[in-house]
Chains A and B, each alone.
Chain A
Amino acid sequence: MNKMHTLAKTLITIAAVYWLALIAIQIVIYPLIMVSSKSGMSGSWVGIFAFMIVQIVILLVVLQVLYRRNKIADKIVGIEETASPQSQVEWIGFSYRLISVIAGLYCFYRAAGIVSTLLIKILIKTQMVRFGKMAADDQMYSNGLILVVLLAVGVYLLCGAPHFVLWQVKKTKEMFVDTSR
């Protein structure tokens, strides 16, 4: 295990544990908010059930990242790059992959937050239908769209964003040539 592995493992662990803790707090807090609302209990139970399922799926993804941190660190560092760890340039691809994975974890954490917001909005809507149904719908569609964007970007980034990383490495190397003139 070289320096890159250690750094990747450490950062992934810190980020995953941090967002895991925050998601766990959300799982406890939001159902309590929903249960504490007096009316529309039947709607609340369905909401809490849906909320718990989505949150647990997101939690499992983050947990998987945490358990497989060694494998992920191996993939982030890459095979060719471990051959000569002295060169400064080799760190570029590794750094881009590492930041992609960390940003991917953040996307999942944010998606968990959006699910909570979305479900609370649904709950409020069921209780206050008489106050502007259309506005509530518009907000919910927006939140749904944000959720889809976050999950799609999160999955791509967690996979190491291969095309993005290759493109960035190429552009960074081009910039070395540009700035050295």
Chain B
Amino acid sequence: MKRQEFKAFGQIQMIANVCIAVIGIHIALIAINNYILLPRTMFCRSEMMSRLFDMFYVAVSLGVLSAIVFFIIVNNNWLIKKILPDEEPIPAENQKKWFVSSLRIGLVLCGLMLLAGSAESLVYTAKIIVGLPIWGRKLFADIFYDGRFDWSQLLKNSFNVFKTALIAYLIIGAPQFVRWQTKRTFTQGAENE
């Protein structure tokens, strides 16, 4: 017999679901930011140690990031089950509407807060786009003539561009994510019934 899976179909449960997903997005961004900002070379004296530490750090960061995305943003019903285990579900005809609107509103709020909190990312991205030809030429010269590559700068720039793209996507309401999440939640719900 298939085990009954918990689904958050109560009003407050859905709001909690959205709040947890928004917090998850914030934690994921903090995790990525910390990975980029940590000066790893200060811990290691030799180059070999530095590379080993780097590999270890990349593996740990990716692990943490995957765990956050999987357990807090995408599959957070286990947490809601612990917080609000038995709330009265809302009428079936309104469940989908409530789920879609609360998730979308939550993600838009997250985007607006990120916009205010990381307005500098927006300005730096604009600067990167404007200065892309010069930056590309410098990168080419660095790799082919000097034989060195500034990874930290590339990571910082990529993070700024990624953050700006994420903010824009959240502000427009993350339509694909909401659609996918709604489909997943309600298909699984129907299968379990």
Contact = CB atoms under 8 A, between A and B. Distances in A.
Interface of A: 88-89, 91-92, 95-96, 99-100, 102-103, 106-107, 109-110, 114, 142, 145-146, 149-150, 153-154, 157, 168, 171-172, 175-176, 178-180
Contacts of A109: 116
B32 interface: no
Contacts of A178: 179
Contacts of B115: 103, 107, 153
A26 to B, nearest CB: 16
B120 A142 contact: yes
Given A88-B94, A149-B123, A99 B101 contact: no
Given A96-B108, A168-B173, A175-B104, A106 B97 contact: no
Interface string B92-128: 0010111011001100110011011101101110010
B182 interface: yes
A91 B101 contact: yes
Contacts of A171: 172-173, 175
A132 B16 CA distance: 50
B40 interface: no
17 contacts: A95-B105, A96-B108, A99-B105, A99-B108, A103-B109, A106-B113, A106-B117, A110-B119, A145-B123, A146-B119, A157-B112, A172-B100, A172-B173, A176-B101, A178-B179, A179-B183, A179-B186
Contacts of B127: 142
- Give 5 closest A-B pairs by Cβ, nearest first: A103-B112, A99-B109, A107-B116, A106-B116, A95-B105
Interface string B166-183: 000000110100110011
User: How big is chain B's contact interface, by range?
Assistant: 20 to 34
Contacts of B123: 142, 145-146, 149
Given A103-B112, A110-B117, A175-B100, 11 more contacts: A88-B101, A92-B105, A95-B101, A103-B113, A106-B113, A142-B120, A146-B123, A149-B122, A153-B119, A172-B100, A180-B96
A9 B98 CA distance: 22
Nearest to A161: B112
Contacts of B178: 175
Kindly name the residue among A88, A102, A154 whose own CB sees the greatest number of chain B CB atoms within 10 A: A88
Contacts of A180: 96
A92 B101 contact: yes
Contacts of B183: 179
Contacts of B113: 103, 106
A100 B116 CA distance: 11
Given A89-B97, A91-B101, A92-B105, A179 B179 contact: yes
A84 to B, nearest CB: 15
A88 B124 contact: no
A145 to B, nearest CB: 5
A110 B97 contact: no
Given A91-B101, A176-B96, A146 B108 contact: no
A179 to B, nearest CB: 5
Interface in B63-101: 94, 96-98, 100-101
Kindly name the residue among A92, A102, A157, A179 whose own CB sees the greatest number of chain B CB atoms within 10 A: A179
Contacts of A102: 109
